[in-house]
Structure 1
């Protein structure tokens, strides 16, 4: 082992203490930097690695957290915090059997430790469900029933929530197929008045819609999503008074979503919105955000669009709160309908044949182009590798080429990969989301790639601004918030107040990410 000088050991301890201070301030990015400096000076301290692992967990960098935990345990096999954090990192990587092993180590040392106990329960649940799926399917060719397309509205009529409901009314039509079997639902009177009343008289008063209404809304919206291509194409080059606004992650921050519409304009015939994935999970109003977006989709099918994010997936919803919130406010059946509707969401959007918008990043395969994205069969849960997954998970990096993902899924791709893809596909820029940017919007990769994140003060902790990009051909504002494009306006905004309900308030997992 390399001998550590007393001077370096002392300096390393100072950086470690600075990292601890940043953690108390919930500034996990700077905490990582401080622990990294400590490790560079003294790599013999297990706690330096386990503390950095904690910071990486908070940043969703599960692979990096895992590596740090491995190092911490090699240095000190009795570092129980490292086992605990490695167990949580494995959960983030969806490696539930490995997570269970580490969490059992924690609980042997600290019986009934609450976070480890809840995390172990989550692992056991996932493992049981996976065994059950394999047992009932018998093969990989299991036929899945589309609940959105087969919902029978009359099955909700016995619920007390519909018989006692006194809010704004919807007219529902039960669709049937050629065999007179249920074939989904249609809403025939969706209106701006209903949406306004939904927000002001239901959601802002802490109330819920009847499950029958929610099922019909999901069914109708899912049918609209299913009819759209995997890569949607939008264009406003011929209309000077027509704006397309691109928002990033909103993560169940309903009050901030309402503020977006208040500040920048509502969806209407001259204003299209594209929400670029991750509109559920984390925040405690994910149901409200999803239902609002779906109602707007029904009302303005050609003026609001949703790209799928990595959190519009089953595993993420089970870990990060949407499933539990949905079951608390509505039912397991409503969650399953939402889950299947997410499978119908497009994966990307091209605006004005210039801008490609997707949640995560580009493919690690240099031969994959835009036409390959268009051919992806998206109607499923995403695989663990390939372009489908990478569109949802990958992140940009500063260095050229490909690098490992700190998250553990997808890859990190460099400026050269972005430039090559844009050139090959005759595009100008990539808009993506997926990562907090303190300024709300950040131009990267020689300004060929823009990250836009629209959940200000993310999880009530980050202190970041929210961002939004408006596509307005010939009417942009150059040099505003880093913008270099005369067709874009880049705005930022702060968070607004909301009721005192913490993020993931309805989650039974409580994993502490």
Structure 2
């Protein structure tokens, strides 16, 4: 049972946190082995924690389900799609209330459940419990933060250690993250993943054949699905296919083909931007005068480009993603062609904060529907962005509707999950060292010396103590300064260790100086500063 709140609390309007741990016996129904969602939600909402055995059982049960699922989940409509949550547990409760009862509503989550927010364990426990209780309604995909590298660089590993003093819980979560599916094929029309497409993925079969049960690598198709972004010129480039240029030599474009030895495709001239598969050629109407444009013309008239033998082997529709430090920026053309190849309408992704919660990218000229939809479900991201979040509902009649989510208040958490005793001890030591130094600074080394100018034993001891206290004052002062900056930056900063390394960079120092003054007040400023922390660590 919880201990009653002390009678002398100064602010009784703030709910008293739960003091008892939620055990297996209280969480799991002995007859079904399923968790009580209402009991877990209430306990976590009141800042309660689970005992380690209960938490490990919850994570292991969820992992067992994930391991049996394919790389690409098949999800039918109606469905509610939720993107990045990032440890914002109290906003997750708002999302579930707005999206519909999970017992009766099908959900698809696009990853990034941890890091940035201060209630990451709570998000994981609730989502995993929902998966165990309603496995057919709750679909969870992996995000780029569901990795050992990112959870060490940011806060999730630290949160497991501080809240639960448990390396076993952290390791169990990492094993569960390794098993999370990576994509979902929704309503036979949409492909959903955390980030985007890859130059190494041409078809859905390529995704289905990936080995996902591992730490996300620094390159390759698995990395790209969790890390890539649309290019900056995604909405503005011409609709013309850049891999095919007008043939000014011939005056018009392209013959019918032969498939030789199951390995060679033979035709009079060349390929066409309107032909993706051999089936496209087989379905052409060839019994007519060759037209001046189109696939039949191209097969009979096209030529290799002048730079055919000299261009880079890299796919021009994918450019190196210098913002993330890995993966690619993918172009409109790359998406358009991928959708056409796989008979899809659009890609639905998360991965990037959106000021209004959702961004509808450029429409395809073929379908008049956006080729990419970016969704973001963490309102007032990092307690700094002042953005609105969104979730996307696909109805039984195939209509799409957006529900916007406003931020919900949450309990205050000190930087790096420091508790009140640690904060108090640090403050006392810091101010005590300042007080002692003020006394010791009253005497110069000359005044501590004896009449003959040499330092006696007492003087040497005082001088050494002064140096020791000075080093302590500097160390505690640096922690105080860093924590004060972290309070201003809130969830923008990574872990304390990674943050100290970043502070050595001049560009970070300049932006952090603004944060020290409390000037990070709007979406654009937060976005500018956060780009530094969005980059994937090199190790």
TM range (shorter): 0.5 to 0.7
Aligned residue for 2:408?
Answer: 496
Q: State the alpha-carbon separation in 1 of the partners of residues 343 and 331 from structure 2.
A: 18
Larger RCO: Structure 1 or Structure 2 (Cα < 8 Å, ≥ 6 residues apart)? 2
TM-score normalised per structure 2: 0.56
Cα 1:510/1:460, change in 2 over 3 Å: farther
- The yes-or-no answer on 1:189 pairing with 2:33 is yes
Match of 1:356, SS state, is strand
Q: C-alpha offsets along residues 38-75 of structure 1, whole Å, 9 cap, x if unaligned?
A: xxxxxxxxxxxxxxxxxxxxxxxxxxxxxxxxxxxxxx
Q: State the alpha-carbon separation in 2 of the partners of residues 166 and 231 from structure 1.
A: 34
Aligned residue for 1:317?
Answer: 151
Q: State the alpha-carbon separation in 1 of the partners of residues 133 and 225 from structure 2.
A: 28
The question of whether the paired residues in 1 share the 8 Å contact of 2:99 and 2:391 is answered with: no
Aligned residue for 2:384?
Answer: 461
* Aligned positions of 1:171-320 closer than 5 A: 171=28, 188-191=32-35, 194-200=36-42, 202-236=43-77, 243-269=78-104, 271-320=105-154
Cα 1:256/1:502, change in 2 over 3 Å: farther
Match of 2:393, SS state, is strand
Q: State the alpha-carbon separation in 2 of the partners of residues 166 and 342 from structure 1.
A: 23
Cα 1:420/1:292, change in 2 over 3 Å: same
The question of whether the paired residues in 2 share the 8 Å contact of 1:278 and 1:311 is answered with: yes
The question of whether the paired residues in 1 share the 8 Å contact of 2:21 and 2:50 is answered with: no
The question of whether the paired residues in 2 share the 8 Å contact of 1:168 and 1:197 is answered with: no
Unpaired runs of 5+ residues, structure 1, are 1-160, 174-186, 237-242, 475-485
Unpaired runs of 5+ residues, structure 2, are 1-17, 238-316, 364-369, 419-494, 503-532, 534-539
Match of 1:509, SS state, is helix
The question of whether the paired residues in 1 share the 8 Å contact of 2:107 and 2:138 is answered with: yes
C-alpha displacement at 1:164, in angstroms?
A: 7.0
* Aligned positions of 1:379-390 closer than 5 A: 379-390=213-224
**1:345 equivalent among 166, 177, 180:** 180
Aligned pair count reads: 318
C-alpha displacement at 1:321, in angstroms?
A: 0.3
C-alpha RMSD over aligned residues: 2.3
The question of whether the paired residues in 2 share the 8 Å contact of 1:359 and 1:432 is answered with: yes
Q: State the alpha-carbon separation in 2 of the partners of residues 418 and 503 from structure 1.
A: 41
C-alpha displacement at 1:505, in angstroms?
A: 4.0
Q: C-alpha offsets along residues 188-226 of structure 1, whole Å, 9 cap, x if unaligned?
A: 4325xx2112121x2122221111111111111000000
The question of whether the paired residues in 1 share the 8 Å contact of 2:357 and 2:387 is answered with: yes
Match of 1:333, SS state, is helix
Pick the structure with more helix per residue: 1
The question of whether the paired residues in 1 share the 8 Å contact of 2:146 and 2:177 is answered with: yes
Aligned residue for 1:478?
Answer: none
C-alpha displacement at 1:415, in angstroms?
A: 0.7
Cα 1:434/1:415, change in 2 over 3 Å: same
Q: State the alpha-carbon separation in 1 of the partners of residues 53 and 19 from structure 2.
A: 7
Q: State the alpha-carbon separation in 2 of the partners of residues 438 and 169 from structure 1.
A: 41
**Could you say which structure has the larger radius of gyration?**
2
C-alpha displacement at 1:503, in angstroms?
A: 7.2
